[in-house]
Structure 1
Amino acid sequence: MNWKLTDNKNWDSLEQQFQWVQDMNFVMQHHLHHEEGSVAVHTRMVLEALQQQPEYRALPAKEQEILWAAALLHDVEKRSTSVDEGGGIITSKGHARRGEYTARTILYRDIPTPFHIRETIAALVRYHGLPVWIMERENPVKKLCEASLRVDTRLLKMLAVADIQGRICKDKSALMESAELFEMLCREQDCWGKARSFATDHARFQYFHTEDGYIDYIPHDNFRCEVILLSGLPGMGKDHYIRTLQQDVPVISLDAIRRKYKVSPTDKAANGRVVQEAKEEARSYLRKEQGFVWNATNTSKQMRSQLIDLFLTYGAKVKIVYIEKPYEIWRKQNREREFMVPETVLDAMLGKLEVPQLEEAHEVVYSV
């Protein structure tokens, strides 16, 4: 499949095709870092700079399209995060993180995109500033390794270089030096153009879940049971996935508990009690060293992390299974459910979806 964001990459055409491109014209930037003006002007300059890179021209067509789409989308959410603090000082904290959510939504709902391509573009948007600011992070090596599990660091540097060259500022040479240091760090950590490898899945998990963990430490695997943590928006087919499992495994279902007590998913107070009951049920299995499936949406990293911490307390191995169907099939399945979720609720959940990543658990499976 030769996926393309669009066949017509002329800027005027992009503005006509996409409202989010039009919006860039009305978003100004910090005068010291972006003398060129609006996000639209900057993004056009970034796209031009990217296409002039010899490294970009040498890429296969698929990777060129991925990188071009990421460049177009990299500052898409400066429109929602920019704050004018006066005197030409404009900040846009969190624009990369929110931009990841928007890129994912656009490439899932509006422009059907293969899962791997979509998530690569979303990751490039999320980490596009990392090569410039990595040495200012609290733990630069860990952040680098995290990024390498999601995206090719060569592509990330190309995007960062285009982002630097596609602007007018006085510190451009210093920013370019930072990008070169990023490549050096990648090579030093053996994750230049590839994911940082770990001796075992447990070694990877321990490194990311231990504050001062040694990156090459190999912990002993002594799991007492395995917990399957399902993740996916409502109506994606989590119940169907459970029915396909070979072994007869207990299932803890938040929906089933809600129905038992006739609790609405929107009743926050009642849902707190539902979760507590589910956790107590989980503890009873964990004490007996009995594996089980935790069946709920678990669409945020924070939500998953809290549950994983509980399972780890009892020595469980954690496997996340993320389930996704194409947009139209998903909506159709939801409409056909016995307990349909309102469309507005689905839209809101989609806009905040955090797809599980490899550093979160011992194993992550994408059933897409």
Structure 2
Amino acid sequence: MMRKPMKPTVTHDHLLALVPTDPAWKVDWTEIWSLWPELAILDTCPQDPIHHAEGDVGKHTRMVVEALVADPDWQGLPVMDRGNLFWAAVLHDVGKPSVTKHEDDGRVSSRGHSRIGASIARELLWHAGSPFVWREELCGIIAHHQLPFWLIERPDPIRMAIETSWRCRPDHLCLHAKADALGRTCEDQQAILESISLAALTFQEAGCWDRPFAFANDESRVAYFELEDRDPRYAAHEAFTCTVTVMSGLPGAGKDTWISKHRPNHPVVSLDLIRDELGVSANANQGQVIQAAYERAREHLRAGRDFVWNATNVTRQNRSRVLRLLRGYAARFEIVYLEPGPDQLQRQNQDRPNAVPDAVIDHLSKKLEPPQIWEAHKVTLI
């Protein structure tokens, strides 16, 4: 996310201004396709002819967007929701060029393009200054845009529906999926549309059609995402040994400043400080640093003492390791995520006593997965 925007004039207001409006509902493809090279390249990205006989990804994308814009259900949405789904449709397959492969049997595959596409969209919209919640709702649609196609085929579709409702809005997801199905040429289009309708019924049956599933309390939610056989309506007993604040954010985001202001009396397990103590650089093997950090955390947990875990924690995988440790000691945990704009992040990093090289931040930013509200008992977004 430290990349220089290819076109500095791409702003969130500009993106919203390009969303078609009544009465013409006309899409300005010339302007949209000139915004980012990540869109232009879609015209040269092939697709599997069985699922996409219409041709390349660019053609499919335009067909999906046109199908969405023509849908009365989309036209009737509030303005911000229309804009959110419009740009989700424009960017939904932006990850395909980086993962598309020609298989030995002559087929074309693009496995993993939803996750990659969400990451690319996040970077583009961060540079455009899009509001965090709006952006992450859009990225949630992209990351899960194929789910309505196969939800009913899963062993436990109700559970998957509940989990998905905490990652994106199911009604918006199904609206996008319908446009995705209509915006292609394939023999099984009607079967796909029927699967989407059944997915919609599944979300409705689960009680999470247009909102996250309502758990009894925060612990019930955390436990449900942790345990596969958990009853979603079980009200878990909340008895915690301590509360741990887990920081998250790129270098220079302001984590130390936030801690000094909001947790001034808490002990802090800081990976940066441990690196300094042990003389380990940020580019070296971090095994010794992590081991020392976990042992210090265990000391606080055994004592039932509130503390702060201070590290970048910008991927879900890294956060999950820490959170599993905290769960083992029956701790309550809150994730505090800080995300300044690109210019502010660069300034704050340069003002640090030991500025992190841009290359390191760029590497971390490309893996960035901001915490979602289901990951912890509380998630604070700054």
TM-score by length of 1: 0.95
Which is worse superposed, 140-149 or 51-60?
Answer: 140-149
- Who is 1:337 aligned against? 352
Structure 1 residue 154, shift from structure 2 partner: 1.3
**Deviation per residue, 1:286-329 (Å, 9 max, x gap):** 11111100000011111111111111111111111111111110
CA shift, 1:245, in A, is 1.5
Q: Is 1:3–1:62's contact at 8 Å kept on the other side of the alignment?
A: no
CA–CA distance in structure 2, aligned partners of residues 241 and 247 of structure 1:
9
CA gap of 1:2–1:82, structure 2 versus 1, over 3 A, is: closer
Which residue of structure 1 aligns with residue 23 of structure 2? none
Among 62, 65, 81, the residue aligned to 1:44: 62
1:10-49 Cα shifts (integer Å, max 9, x gaps): 2222232210111101111011100000000000000110
Which residue in the other structure is 2:110 paired with?
A: 92
**Once the 2 structures are TM-superposed, how far is the Cα of residue 151 of structure 1 from its aligned partner?**
2.0
Runs of 4+ in 1 over 6 A off after TM superposition: none
Unpaired runs of 5+ residues, structure 2, are 1-10, 19-26
- 1:237 partner letter: G
Report how far residue 2 of structure 1 moved: 7.8
Q: Which residue of 2 aligns with 1:315?
A: 330
CA–CA distance in structure 2, aligned partners of residues 223 and 290 of structure 1: 11
Q: Secondary structure of the equivalent of 2:380?
A: strand
Q: Alignment partner of 1:79: what SS?
A: helix
| 1:60-103 alpha-carbon deviations (Å, 9 max, x no partner) | 12111111100000000100111111554111110001111111
The change in CA–CA distance for 1:253 and 1:2 in structure 2 (over 3 A counts) is closer
Q: How does 1:1-368 map to 2 (within 5 A)?
A: 3-5=13-15, 7-8=17-18, 9-86=27-104, 88-109=106-127, 111-245=128-262, 248-268=265-285, 271-367=286-382
Q: Distance in 2 between matches of 1:139 and 1:236?
A: 39
C-alpha separation in 2, matches of 1:137 and 1:344: 41
SS across alignment from 1:294: strand
C-alpha displacement at 1:155, in angstroms? Answer: 1.0
Find the aligned partners of 1:136 and 1:182 in 2 and give their Cα distance: 10
The amino acid of 1:136's aligned partner reads E
SS of 1:181's equivalent in the other structure is helix
Aligned CA distance change for structure 1 residues 11 and 88 (closer, same or farther; 3 Å)? farther
Is 1:2–1:62's contact at 8 Å kept on the other side of the alignment? no
Would the alpha carbon gap of residues 2 and 356 (structure 1) be closer, same or farther in structure 2, given more than 3 Å must change? closer
Q: How many residues align?
A: 364
Q: CA deviation at 1:180?
A: 0.4
- Paired amino acid for 1:51: V
CA distance in 1, matches of 2:321, 2:373: 16
> What does the per-residue CA deviation read over 1:237-276, in whole Å, with 9 as the maximum and x for residues that have no partner?
00011011256111110001111122111101xx210111
Normalising to structure 2: TM-score of the pair?
A: 0.92
Give, in whole Å, the separation in 1 of the partners of 2:370 and 2:308.
18
